[in-house]
Structure 1
Amino acid sequence: MSPQLSSWPLISCKYTAYTHGARRRIRNRTMSMHTGWEDLKRLALSLDLPGVTEATSWGQPCLKAHGKLWVWWSPHEDAPVFKVSREMRGVLVETAPETFYFTDHYRDYPLVLMRPDHIDATWARDNLLAVWRAQAPNAS
């Protein structure tokens, strides 16, 4: 666990999801009940991945990986937005509706929102790494 997260109270959370093509049960812990953009940004930046920059999108702070949106906080939903496949989003929303959801605004995009009081640090870290890899330029 990164030093930034060590002082946060942790709460049990479990759900089933497809990850990297395999179905597995995930038992993780969630971040503080008061997680916000700064906490999520600190988690993402603690991964220390090359090509990650702080930016703005539609006037709101976000993080980009390799010049593409990577993760951001929806001001309208007051919740983090993560990139996932539509298939993964369906599984997450169906198996853990207390944690994952989407609104009409995000319906046509491969994105999922996570309720701030149920942010799962391990899932977020795994998702951020997978999206970062997918957005990385091909090595020549």
Structure 2
Amino acid sequence: MVDDAAVRRLALALPEVEDRSEGDRVAFEVRGGKGIAWTYLVRAAPKKPRVPQPDVLAVRCALERKEMLVAAAPDRFFDDDHYRGFPAVLVRLPQVDEVELAALLRAAWRLSAPRALLGRLADD
């Protein structure tokens, strides 16, 4: 299980990641640009505003990888109508460990970081 403190520590360990969290929502982006991970907002009822679901993190990823993750481990990863076709996978934090989340965040960072930063992340 991964908690908010671990999410924050793992995200901020990446080069030039900024914490844009507010209230009960976490959000991280690279150098003021694209977000790499943020709290999932669920619509509890039709025509009602979305509300934070703190045990689910949206993590940017390639669509092909998203499909693979959801198919291979639906207990840990999922999609919904709002995110369908969007390059982010929904991660059930109680079901993943820090190693798995760190790998997802590193991949999200690589997709989002400006080209000039890419050399700053050591290869796994």
What TM-score comes out, normalization by structure 1 length? 0.63
**Unaligned stretches of 5+ residues in structure 1:** 1-30
In structure 1, what is the equivalent of residue 46 of structure 2?
none
Please report the RMSD computed on the Cα atoms of aligned residues, expressed in angstroms. 2.4
8 Å CA contact retained: 1:66, 1:135: no
Q: Deviations over 1:21-42 (max 9, x none)?
A: xxxxxxxxxx25xx3x343112
Alignment of structure 1 residues 59-78 onto 2, 5 Å: 60-67=25-32, 68-76=34-42, 78=53
Q: Deviations over 1:60-108 (max 9, x none)?
A: 4311112221111114262101111111111111110111001111112
In structure 1, what is the equivalent of residue 19 of structure 2?
54
What code does the residue aligned with 1:62 have?
A
8 Å CA contact retained: 1:62, 1:73: yes
Q: For the residues of structure 1 that align with 2:57 and 2:92, how far apart are their CA atoms? A: 7
In structure 2, what is the equivalent of residue 133 of structure 1?
110
Which of the residues 44, 47, 54 maps onto 2:11? 44
What code does the residue aligned with 1:90 have?
E
8 Å CA contact retained: 2:18, 2:30: yes
Matched residue SS, 1:114: strand
Alpha-carbon offset, residue 116 of structure 1: 2.4
8 Å CA contact retained: 2:58, 2:89: yes
Which of the residues 92, 98, 103 maps onto 1:115? 92
In structure 1, what is the equivalent of residue 60 of structure 2?
83
Alpha-carbon offset, residue 124 of structure 1: 1.4
Give aligned-pair identity as a percent: 32
Q: For the residues of structure 1 that align with 2:58 and 2:91, how far apart are their CA atoms? A: 7
What TM-score comes out, normalization by structure 2 length? 0.70
What code does the residue aligned with 1:43 have?
L
